[in-house]
Amino acid sequence: MWQTNWVAGRLRDAHPGLDIEIKTINTRGDATQAANVPLSSFGEKGIFAKELEEALLAGDVDIAVHSMKDLAHTLPEGLCIGAVPPREHSGDALVGCTLDALPQGARVGTGSVRRRALFAERRPDLQLLECRGNVDSRLRKLDEGQYDAICLAVAGLRRLGLGHRITEVLDPLWFIPDPGQGALAIEARTDDERVFGLLRRIDDLGASTTTRAERAFLAAVGGSCQMPIGAHATLIGQRVLLRVMLAEDGKTRRAEVMGGMDEAEALGKRAADEFIR
């Protein structure tokens, strides 16, 4: 809801007088979060998006606002990402303790298979425990002593005004984030030119370019909630540097590629080819 209200505010700033109605839709991801069911048990990305996409296709809503990392790598026919607003920090944060200060066998809460794989690579002694729920409930569990630290996205904490809870921002050079982390995706119908005209004013070229590269890698390797996969693209002048990781059989493999901003999707595919080879 924070993200939706933020996007509505940007649209009103860009188009004074624009009439915006916000519709709240509960998704299967919301239900699993409330039930404390691990997301990885579902196998596919997109469980926070399906019901919103159905409303889009039915014409009940004109746009849907998502966390980019929650979107499946292939969108339903007739839908596309119409805009990517300026991106927040894309990295991960520890709350409660720094990684080096955690004692042997400390309990770290995270529901992400990617984060588990990266922690296990650097600190195999840690107890990596399931941690589900919204940000407030995860922080409450930490404060109650259920964990010694928890891992959350920097973007989510900052957006909710909780950046002061961050103990350490993990270096994205080794703790490579989820593809699209920190970015918002505004989904629309591919044939809705009126909506595209409105969204164009809040699209950010840098955020759009980096997330296209990351999502192309995700699509090329067929990423799902069960796959420990990361992708982090950054702009260096007019060039894109894409760093990726994939954990398999207890080994974490990394690769990096670089190319022009107009090659974003090709870079993602090239990085995937490195792993396929």
Q: Which CATH number fits the domain that encloses residue 192? A: 3.40.190.10
> What is the pLDDT at residue 59?
95
CA 199/CA 215 separation, integer angstroms: 20
Pair (19, 143) in one structural domain: no
Same domain, 13 and 45: yes
**End position of a domain, from candidates 134, 169, 204:** 169
* pLDDT attached to residue 250: 79
Q: Is 9 part of any domain?
A: yes
Q: In this structure, are 83 and 27 located in the same domain?
A: yes
Position 174 in a domain: no
* Residue 183 sits in the same domain as residue 272: yes
CB atoms within 10 A of CB 74: 12
Q: Are residues 103 and 230 in the same domain?
A: no
Determine the pLDDT at residue 35: 45
Cβ–Cβ under 8 Å, residues 146 and 109: yes
Domain that holds residue 145: 92-169
- Judge if 133 and 51 occupy the same domain: no
Strand, coil or helix: 4: helix
State the pLDDT at residue 223: 65
Last residue of a domain, one of 143, 169, 195: 169
Q: Does 226 map to a domain?
A: yes
Looking at the domain assignment, is residue 59 inside a domain?
A: yes
Quick one: pLDDT at residue 274?
Answer: 85
How many domains does the chain contain in total? 2
Same domain, 7 and 57: yes
Contacts of 50 (CB under 8 A, 6+ apart): 27, 28
Contacts of 261 (CB under 8 A, 6+ apart): 205, 209, 235, 238, 239, 240
Residue 271 lies in a domain: yes
- Which amino acid is present at 15? H
- 3-class SS of residue 172: coil
Q: Which of 148, 169, 190 is the last residue of a domain?
A: 169
Q: Are residues 219 and 263 in the same domain?
A: yes
Given 60, 62, 70, 192, the catalytic residue: 70
Q: CA triplet 204, 209, 212: central angle to 5 degrees?
A: 120
| 266 part of a folded domain | yes
User: In terms of domains, do 269 and 190 share one?
Assistant: yes
Domain match, 256 and 190 both? yes
Q: Does some domain include residue 138? A: yes
Instruction: Give, for all 277 residues of the chain, the pLDDT tens digit.
Output: 999 999 999 999 999 999 999 999 886 655 555 545 555 444 455 667 889 999 999 999 999 999 999 898 889 999 999 999 999 999 999 999 999 999 999 999 998 999 999 999 999 999 999 998 889 999 999 999 999 999 999 999 999 999 999 999 999 999 999 999 999 999 999 999 999 999 999 999 999 999 999 999 999 998 666 789 999 999 999 999 999 999 988 789 999 999 999 999 999 999 999 888 8
Residue 67 and residue 193 in one domain: yes
Cβ atoms within 10 A of the Cβ of 267, count?
28
Whether 54 and 66 share a structural domain: yes
Note the pTM of the prediction, 2 decimals: 0.88
| Residue 178 annotated as catalytic | no
What is the reported pLDDT for 41? 44
- Report yes or no on 250 lying in a domain: yes
